[in-house]
Amino acid sequence: MAGVAMPTLSLSGCEKPMPVIGMGTMSYPPVDIETTKAAILEAMRAGYRHFDTAFAYGSEKPLGEAIAEALRVGLIQSRDELFITTKLWSSFADPAQVVPACRMSLQNLQLEYVDMYLIHQPVRLTEMISRTPVAAEIIRPLDVKGVWEGMEECKNLGLTKGIGVSNFSCKKMEELLSIAKIPPALNQVEMNPVWQQKQLREFCKARDIAKAKGKTTAQVALRWAYEQGVSIVTKSFNKQRMRENLQIFDWALSTDDLEKINQLLQRKGVTLASILGPHDLILELDAEV
């Protein structure tokens, strides 16, 4: 990171500050365990200390193996140096299954606790799935109160330092906040201009923002998000891009740059319907965003 310290965010109800840039570990199409593990170790060498995984990504085990190896070879001195986020998959989004699912993720990760445990999406699936889209008959509304009580139990048991959600609309957040004893620490979502990464890249090239700054278009997008006061999860297994994605803290976008980016039309890149299928409940959830 060229000597620039990684900023952190303090989160409500979470016992550890979160580095503002994390490495995402999802790959599509999926890659083998060794490839994922090697990429995570390379990210640690580059300076990443925040890693985002999920049961659904299939990357908990390689992340756990990478952490164990990093400790073994001295790449990190303590597990406490890392901020690890994982997620409750929708097939386990049932009040009775939340704590067992968290314990299973911890077993995959070879950890005693995670730093953040998120509800992956605001829907329940009644079966385990191996592919998407899914059949309409296995989709159910999320029992927000019951599942969140399970998330709170995970925190009370010390299985996670913080709890939150992912892909929740304002409406779903209001429902959750009305019943939560422990408020969610964060809501992990797609955020514009990252919603339209392709459009942003084309725009930056056309307006020469990236060229004028001597930065890549990805760095411009990441700096924009950072200046909005949010944390960022990036995903690249490419060594050079891993490092480039961290090099956003010693420069800033101008007022003119920000105005140009704000002129972009907004369009969500990934919807629940694009993953689970255009079923009535899923379309209703997408319409709330």
For residues 200 and 261, is the Cβ–Cβ distance under 8 A?
yes
Structural domain spans, the chain: 8-189
Supply the pLDDT for residue 268.
60
Which residues, given as ranges, of the chain have pLDDT below 50? 1-3, 192-197, 206
- Is residue 279 marked as binding? no
pTM of the model: 0.86
Query: Residue 275, SS3?
Result: helix
Supply the pLDDT for residue 246.
93
Query: What sections of the chain are H helices per DSSP?
Result: 33-46, 60-73, 98-109, 144-156, 170-179, 197-207, 209-213, 217-227, 239-246, 255-262, 272-276, 280-288
Query: Residue 220, SS3?
Result: helix
Structure confidence by residue, pLDDT tens digits, 106-127: 999 999 999 999 999 999 999 9
**Alpha-carbon span 109 to 66, nearest angstrom:** 9
Mark whether 117 is an active-site residue: no
**Alpha-carbon span 47 to 50, nearest angstrom:** 9
**Domain at 8-189, CATH homologous superfamily:** NADP-dependent oxidoreductase domain (3.20.20.100)
Supply the pLDDT for residue 262.
76
Q: Which of 57, 113, 117, 226 is catalytic?
A: 57
Structure confidence by residue, pLDDT tens digits, 163-186: 999 988 888 999 999 999 999 999
Q: Beta 187-188 vs 163-166: how paired, if at all?
A: parallel
Query: Residue 95 belongs to what H/E stretch?
Result: none
Contacts of 113 (CB under 8 A, 6+ apart): 106, 158, 159, 160, 161
The encoded tokens of residue 67 equal 């952490």
Q: Which of 174, 150, 178 is nearest to 163 (CA)?
A: 150
CA dist 248 → 2, 207, 227, 252 (Å): 11, 19, 10, 8
The owner of tokens 């079923």 is: 279
Supply the pLDDT for residue 192.
45
Query: Residue 57, SS3?
Result: helix
Supply the pLDDT for residue 197.
45
Q: Which of 222, 228, 230 is nearest to 249 (CA)?
A: 222
Describe the crossing of helices 98-109 and 144-156 by its angle, rounded to 10 degrees: 50
